[in-house]
Structure 1
Amino acid sequence: MPERIGSISELRSAYRHGGLTPTELAEQVLAGLSGADGGPVWITTVPAGQLLARAERLAATADPATLPLYGIPFAVKDNIDVAGMTTTAGCPDFGYSAVEDAPVVRRLLDAGALLVGKTNLDQFATGLTGSRSPYGSCASVFGGGLISGGSSSGSAVAVAAGQVSFALGTDTAGSGRVPAALNGIVGLKPTRGLLSTAGVVPACRSLDCVSVFATDVADAVDVLHAARGVSAADPWGRPLPAERVVARMPGTLRLGVPRAEDLEFFGDAGQAVRFAAGVQALRGLVGQVGSVPLQSFLEAGELLYQGPWVAERLAGLDGFLREHPEAVLPVTRGVLETGRRYDAIDVFRGQHRLRELRAQVDQLWHEVDVLVVPTVGTTFTLAEVAEDPIGRNTALGRYTQFANLLDLAAVTVPNGFTAAGRPASLTLLGPAFSDTTMARLAAAFTTATRTVPETTAPAAAPPGSAQTLIAVVGRHLAGESRNAELTERGATLAGAARTAPRYRLYRLETADGAGLPGLVRVAEADPDGHPIEVELWRLPVAAVGEVLAGVPAPLSLGWVRLHDGREVLGFLCEAYAVDSGAEDISAAGGWRAYRRAAAQRS
């Protein structure tokens, strides 16, 4: 498996202290792209020689300390212009060769970033599923036939799969947030105008945003600051007011939580449970919490596709659609053609109603500083979307499509996994130019809820795969002495996780003096339970008996509850073994962390 590209902060450290060069990084990127050109994630990649040449020039002429994105690889959604590359917007017959870089791309290149290529999207950025492209349908990195989300499907998957450190998408109705949710990464949708939309094929010009995908919030904010700026070619651009550059502390914020009657999870109890858990975590970070009605937000969102704004989508494509109707996918053409239903009177009526709704929402910002919503109420497979492409697309946009109409800033962050293994996510929303404050709270949330990096997040095994997840805590961890007992039986690493705070970890004495960790579950009411770091491995069901046969007493296989509520098989220790003075190492949080601390003490 190709090596994952690191985050911006990781690569910065490697460049400055670890001896990494941009050329070495470019070679690593190219190895990860082997066979990717023409695949569903990428529409076009930069030729290998060109990427290596830019990396070599960067190494020869620049200092990593002077460029904020020195040697950082990134991707661009293929409705954003890159000089010398074709912009298709997901429609080959529409494609044209861009003469110059979009300003947002140029600023990133000037900051030292390395462009890797252009990514797949729902055609003309119309859709939230990632399945409306003649280049193929992207799937979530979590497998099981789960959609990637759209329209910025390829950009999100490229980041989540570790092919690049960050990517640009666009977001009109949620296209920078839904794909982040379905791939377990961060999606930052800035205030409209902070990132220039010059050189971007318009979806709905008055609402379009360029968005950022990254693996953590700090990276996304770094990209925002490197890329933002007003362009003379962009009449929609707005600068970030100086007084909004510095973020407010989370503890000073008033959090708005939707009323229960306004929340809709489309029968998905797992997503409802995860959202409640996310809200509970946020309660411990903010100053106040209050209930907020969502009716004004939801009604504004309905205007996007059930009001005259769909005619704005048609405005920029009407000529092409009339001349080349066969070049446009039927589902995309059907959405765009609905714009012909509206006349000038409808436009003004829609604008007047939106203004009324915005006034209602603006009043809410006197009572709360930030609103939290689920990013999506439920998830779908590609097969489910194919059964009802319009209805399920509408469900995905329930909590996203009002943001740009109401001039809001938004940050989407992962929120664990449901018991069925589906990714969960939440979105923080605030008034225009609250971007840095939203990001600071989002970063605090991810720190509070994900103490163990989940670089490859666990997902439920696809039906019929005859595999099961098994949680390991000690010598079966990757690189440890007994890991081969798993790999030799066909096990593959599914990711890092942590247990629910219902366990204690002990060091059991062994004949070789190295010690052995024992994980013991405590009573639900025990206040001394801890979350413990584990690795999740996918093991063929047929091999479970062989693994069990090799487990020595006092260890055994049993059911381990994870932090997201799932129960998986795992290595447990019988309680009698820790009653005779075994060292309690729970506070370390895991076996590796304990050994690192012990080594530092010695």
Structure 2
Amino acid sequence: MSTVEYGQTLAEWRAQYTQNPHIVSSVLTRYVSQFDRADNAWIYLASEQDILTQCAALLDALEDGSKTLVDMPLFGVPFAVKDNIDVAGMPTTAACPAFLYHPEVDATVVARLKSAGAVVIGKTNLDQFATGLVGTRSPYGAVVNTFNPDYVSGGSSSGSASVVARGLAAFSLGTDTAGSGRVPAGFNNIVGLKPTKGWFSAQGVVPACRLNDTISVFALTVDDAWQVAQVAGGYDAGDAYSRVHPGTAPAQLSNAPRFAIPEQCEFYGDSQSEQAWQQALAHLVAQGVELVPIDFTPFRQLAEQLYYGAWVAERTVAVGSMLDQPPETMDPTVRQIVANGKAWTACDAWQAEYTRAGLARTIQQVLAAVDALVVPTSPTIHTLAEMAEEPVNYNSQFGTYTNFTNLADLSALAVPAGFRQDGLPFGITLIAPAWHDLALAAFACQWQQQQALPLGATGRPLTAGASITPTLPECYVRLAVVGAHLRGMPLNHQLTTRDAVFVEETVTADDYRLYALAGQVPAKPGLARAEQGNAIIVELWDVPLARFGEFVAEVPAPLGIGSVTLADGRVVKGFICEPQALGAATDITQWGGWKAWLAHQHLA
């Protein structure tokens, strides 16, 4: 069997098994055998038996008929897991050997990914107890930048970002409290998806700050990251902070999106990052984005709360009795940061929460006027030597545009945005309110296609034409509109004010008739199925599920909402008409659509 190429996307991995899924064991064992076992991006690299055991479970499911390849959309895809997330049969250390334990069950998210066919190939290095944005605070060694080994990789999810950027894992799991799922993505030219808090279960995760933690996803493409997120996410009754998707967020951003940007960006004297930022803004404008400068003060003030206030005490609680161990059992910088939490009182903690809530409300009001906020993923980058001189100050700089996100309950997606003059990657992060994850991913996929940058550090080109095709069907209703709710028509606002988004213009099956109803203000058509008919032009809109009932309540008789069959066989919700209203109506089927009829009336 030939050597498997590094840097394959999910689609490329899946294609290997289409004809013969039974080769999965041999493919993956041979693949992992190529790895350098001295590579310190790994804390634990899967043994041959680890891989065989996982693959056997997948093949057994196929053999007994309990699952098909369709049921396992990640079949045979190798992924890595940050070593503060439990994988049954593999040790968890949180990059602290004295903390090591052997979990008997998978973290919920890992279990979901395995059930979808993915195979864990190792546990990755991190800043100890996920405390840091640098990737240097580990007894297993600093994980270096994949483009220049003199520079930091970013953290705390350093190993997870490194193995994806180099194409060793098709995707990986990190965690993100202050930016640990975004900063390493920016430093290594990959995608970092930080989901809305509570979408991914935290069961089986060693907490850093439990109220502000979330598992994150690293991938080479936005499409891959989104596919993984759809599998990994979902409500978990076993996690006290898990949340059900409210079904209120838009599926896409506006067709002409408005992005807030900091009125004054801080780059700490890094002119190369500043230049890369200006180039990224120019590309956004060329893509049709309107940039809206905002006062960044409340974002900056909230970011400072995470490490310079009582919130540090949450890390102290998470580490617990490890602080009672001899000092040498912990990284000295991590120990210093975590120990500082003991200086804060319960009164300080309550006051910190009041401050957080006030600043978060201000931030949410600012973001309500735009589609999203875009910021540099990090304002600068430093060498390993520089980081050794200023471990706390430079770490703080990295978090300038990340630390506030979870405190304000926002979704975020870090994407590549080109390269600095010195050849190091530069990234931007899209940030929006909670549950806007899909909308951010849809835009970011278009962005990545426009940029056409190589994938991670692999040198492989981005495949043209990839797009975010799947929605979250439990969160949106796809609706066919045919008349007064079309774009430019008088009732379209009933859709747009409920965050519905236009998907496409298409046509119905050819057994429909269209009528201009009598006595309707504003004028409306009626759509009815008939033995003899034509295809009728409709628009498809994705309506947030929780807003759909409000919309339907405004639909007046004789119209209603039923099911409409499209020309390609899809069945969606759509406007239908009561038969008794058609007797006095004018049959306009021959015009093929409402706008064509209106244009004819105007010309007449």
Q: Distance in 2 between matches of 1:251 and 1:285?
A: 10
1:248 lines up with 2:252 in the alignment: yes
Q: 2:313 aligns with which of 307, 311, 336?
A: 311
Q: Distance in 2 between matches of 1:339 and 1:179?
A: 26
- Corresponding residue SS for 1:346: helix
Q: Distance in 2 between matches of 1:242 and 1:248?
A: 13
CA shift at 1:403, angstroms?
0.4
1:79, 1:124 within 8 Å by CA — same for their partners in 2?
yes
2:188, 2:457 within 8 Å by CA — same for their partners in 1?
no
Aligned amino acid, residue 448 of structure 2: T
* 2:135 corresponds to: 130
- Corresponding residue SS for 1:256: strand
CA shift at 1:35, angstroms?
2.2
Structure 2 counterparts to residues 365-384 of structure 1, below 5 A:
365-384=367-386
* 2:222 corresponds to: 217
Q: 1:185 aligns with which of 171, 185, 190?
A: 190
Aligned amino acid, residue 58 of structure 2: L
Q: Distance in 1 between matches of 2:282 and 2:245?
A: 31
Q: Distance in 2 between matches of 1:92 and 1:336?
A: 17
Structure 2 counterparts to residues 138-177 of structure 1, below 5 A:
138-177=143-182
Aligned amino acid, residue 40 of structure 1: N
Q: Deviations over 1:325-366 (max 9, x none)?
A: 331111111111111221112112211111111121111122
CA shift at 1:130, angstroms?
0.4
Q: TM-score, normalised by structure 1?
A: 0.72
CA shift at 1:215, angstroms?
0.4
Q: Distance in 1 between matches of 2:384 and 2:351?
A: 37
Q: Distance in 1 between matches of 2:149 and 2:95?
A: 25
Q: Deviations over 1:29-80 (max 9, x none)?
A: 31332424xx411111221123034325534643333212111110111111
Q: Distance in 2 between matches of 1:60 and 1:83?
A: 19
Q: 2:409 aligns with which of 392, 407, 410?
A: 407
Structure 1 or 2, whichever has the larger Rg, is 2
Q: Distance in 2 between matches of 1:388 and 1:221?
A: 36
1:83, 1:101 within 8 Å by CA — same for their partners in 2?
yes
CA shift at 1:440, angstroms?
1.0
* 2:457 corresponds to: 456
Evaluate the alpha carbon distance shift between residue 293 and residue 65 of structure 1 in structure 2; reply closer, same or farther with a 3 A threshold.
Answer: same
Moved more, 209-218 or 358-367: 358-367
* 1:527 corresponds to: none
1:413, 1:446 within 8 Å by CA — same for their partners in 2?
yes
* 2:115 corresponds to: 110
Q: Distance in 1 between matches of 2:354 and 2:455?
A: 46
Q: Deviations over 1:104-155 (max 9, x none)?
A: 1111111110011111110000011100000111001112411111100111
- Provide the aligned C-alpha RMSD in A: 2.0
Q: Distance in 2 between matches of 1:420 and 1:495?
A: 20
Q: Distance in 2 between matches of 1:351 and 1:59?
A: 49
CA shift at 1:253, angstroms?
2.6
1:23, 1:59 within 8 Å by CA — same for their partners in 2?
no
1:21, 1:59 within 8 Å by CA — same for their partners in 2?
no
Q: Distance in 1 between matches of 2:245 and 2:73?
A: 19
Q: Deviations over 1:184-229 (max 9, x none)?
A: 1000000001001111111011100100000000111111110112
* 2:492 corresponds to: none
CA shift at 1:160, angstroms?
0.8
- Corresponding residue SS for 1:87: coil
1:78 lines up with 2:80 in the alignment: no
Q: Distance in 1 between matches of 2:356 and 2:253?
A: 32
- Corresponding residue SS for 1:15: coil
1:95 lines up with 2:82 in the alignment: no
Q: Deviations over 1:372-399 (max 9, x none)?
A: 0000111111111011101110111111
* 1:276 corresponds to: 278
Aligned amino acid, residue 323 of structure 2: L
1:264, 1:377 within 8 Å by CA — same for their partners in 2?
yes
Q: Distance in 2 between matches of 1:167 and 1:361?
A: 30
* 2:261 corresponds to: 257
CA shift at 1:265, angstroms?
1.0
1:388 lines up with 2:393 in the alignment: no
CA shift at 1:456, angstroms?
3.4
1:254, 1:288 within 8 Å by CA — same for their partners in 2?
yes
Q: 2:213 aligns with which of 202, 208, 217?
A: 208
Q: Distance in 1 between matches of 2:213 and 2:349?
A: 18
Aligned amino acid, residue 251 of structure 2: A
Q: Distance in 2 between matches of 1:391 and 1:224?
A: 33
Aligned amino acid, residue 456 of structure 1: A
Q: Distance in 1 between matches of 2:163 and 2:455?
A: 17
Identity of aligned residues (%): 41
Q: Distance in 2 between matches of 1:199 and 1:286?
A: 42
CA shift at 1:24, angstroms?
4.0
* 1:516 corresponds to: none
2:201, 2:236 within 8 Å by CA — same for their partners in 1?
yes
- Corresponding residue SS for 1:206: helix
CA shift at 1:28, angstroms?
4.1
1:250, 1:440 within 8 Å by CA — same for their partners in 2?
no
Evaluate the alpha carbon distance shift between residue 101 and residue 139 of structure 1 in structure 2; reply closer, same or farther with a 3 A threshold.
Answer: same
| Structure 1 unpaired stretches of 5+ | 458-493, 498-602
Aligned amino acid, residue 170 of structure 2: S
Moved more, 67-76 or 53-62: 53-62
Q: Distance in 2 between matches of 1:292 and 1:20?
A: 55
* 2:300 corresponds to: 298
* 2:597 corresponds to: none
Q: Distance in 2 between matches of 1:213 and 1:496?
A: 18
Evaluate the alpha carbon distance shift between residue 151 and residue 375 of structure 1 in structure 2; reply closer, same or farther with a 3 A threshold.
Answer: same
Q: Distance in 1 between matches of 2:61 and 2:149?
A: 46
* 1:15 corresponds to: 17
1:29, 1:164 within 8 Å by CA — same for their partners in 2?
no
- Corresponding residue SS for 2:212: coil
1:397 lines up with 2:399 in the alignment: yes
Q: TM-score, normalised by structure 2?
A: 0.72
* 1:40 corresponds to: 40
CA shift at 1:19, angstroms?
8.1
